Amino acid sequence: MSNPLLNLPLLPAFDQLQPSQVAPAIAELIDNCRDQLEKGLENPDWDNTLAPLEEAQDRLNRAFSPVSHLNSVLSGPWREPYEAALAEVTAYWTELGQNRDLYGVYRQLAESPEFADWPQARRQAVKLGLRDFELSGVGLEGDARERFAANSRRLAELSSQFANNVLDATNAWTYHTEDAAELSGLPQTALAAAGAAAQSRNLPGWVITLEGPSFLAVMTHADNRALRERVHRAFVSRASETGPDGGKFDNSSVMEEILKLRAEQAKLLGMESYAELSVASKMAPDTDRVLEFLNDLAERAKPAAEREFAELKAFATDNLGLQELKPWDIPWAAEKLKQERYAISQEELRPYFPYEKVLAGLFAVVEKLFGVTAEADDSVATWHEDARFFWLTRNGERIAGFYLDAFAREKKRGGAWMDTVSTRRQTESGLQLPIAYLVCNFSPPISAAGAPAAGGEPSLLTHNEVTTLFHEFGHGLHHMLTKVDVADVSGINGVAWDAVELPSQFLENWCWQPEAIAMMSGHYKTGEPLPAELLDKMLAAKNFQSAMFTVRQLEFALFDFLLHSRNTGASAEEIQQLLNDVRKRVAVVPSAAENRFQHGFAHIFAGGYAAGYYSYKWAEVLSADAFSLFEEKGIFDRATGEKFLHSILEKGGSREAEDLFTEFRGRAPKIDALLRHSGIEQLALNTDPG
Question: 229-284, pLDDT tens digit by residue?
Answer: 999 999 999 999 999 999 999 999 999 999 999 999 999 999 999 999 999 999 99
Separation CA 564–CA 560 (nearest Å): 6
Please state, in angstroms and as integers, the Cα–Cα distance from residue 676 to each residue in 429, 515, 681, 690, following that order: 50, 20, 4, 20
> Which of the four pLDDT bands, split at 50, 70 and 90, describes residue 520?
very high
The full 3-state SS of 633-673, as one line of letters, equals: HCCCCHHHHHHHHHHHHCCCCCCCHHHHHHHHHCCCCCCHH
Of the chain, the end-to-end C-alpha distance in Å amounts to 54
Order the strands of the 417-422 sheet from edge to edge: 373-376, 388-394, 397-407, 435-442, 417-422
Give the DSSP H/E element, type plus range, for residue 228. Answer: helix 225-236
The stretch 8-14 carries a mean pLDDT of: 95
pLDDT at 369 over 80: yes
DSSP structure string for 51-108: HHHHHHHHHHHHHHHHHHHHHHHT-GGGHHHHHHHHHHHHHHHHHHHT-HHHHHHHHH
Intervals of CATH 1.10.1370.40 along the chain: 4-167, 350-522
pLDDT at 534 over 60: yes
Q: Which of 256, 472, 508, 620 is catalytic?
A: 472
Q: Which of 465, 331, 347 is nearest to 406 (CA)?
A: 465
Angle between helices 572-586 and 252-268 (to 10 degrees): 90
Dmax over Cα atoms in the chain, in whole Å? 79
Give the per-residue pLDDT at 447. Answer: 67
Q: Which of 135, 91, 98 is nearest to 268 (CA)?
A: 135
Question: 181-211, pLDDT tens digit by residue?
Answer: 999 999 999 999 999 999 999 999 999 999 9
> Which of the four pLDDT bands, split at 50, 70 and 90, describes residue 453?
very low
pLDDT at 450 over 60: no
Q: Reduce the DSSP state of residue 278 to 3 states and report it.
A: helix
Q: Which of 282, 394, 359, 356 is nearest to 649 (CA)?
A: 394
pLDDT at 504 over 90: yes
Separation CA 332–CA 325 (nearest Å): 10
Give the per-residue pLDDT at 511. Answer: 98
| CB-based burial, 224-249: b 16+ in 10 Å, e otherwise | beebbbbbbbbbbbbbbbbbebeeeb
Q: Which of 60, 612, 655, 35 is nearest to 284 (CA)?
A: 612
pTM for this one?
0.95
Give the per-residue pLDDT at 501. Answer: 96
pLDDT at 134 over 90: yes
User: Domain 252-344+545-613's class?
Assistant: mainly alpha
Separation CA 468–CA 474 (nearest Å): 10
Q: Does domain 350-522 have CATH number 1.10.1370.40?
A: yes
Give the per-residue pLDDT at 689. Answer: 39
Give the per-residue pLDDT at 546. Answer: 94
Q: Report the share of the chain in percent with pLDDT over 90.
A: 93
Which listed CATH number (1.20.140.10, 1.10.3720.10, 1.10.1370.40, 3.40.50.1370) goes with 4-167? 1.10.1370.40
Has 472 been annotated as catalytic? yes
Intervals of CATH 1.10.1370.10 along the chain: 252-344+545-613
pLDDT at 139 over 60: yes
> Which of the four pLDDT bands, split at 50, 70 and 90, describes residue 222?
very high
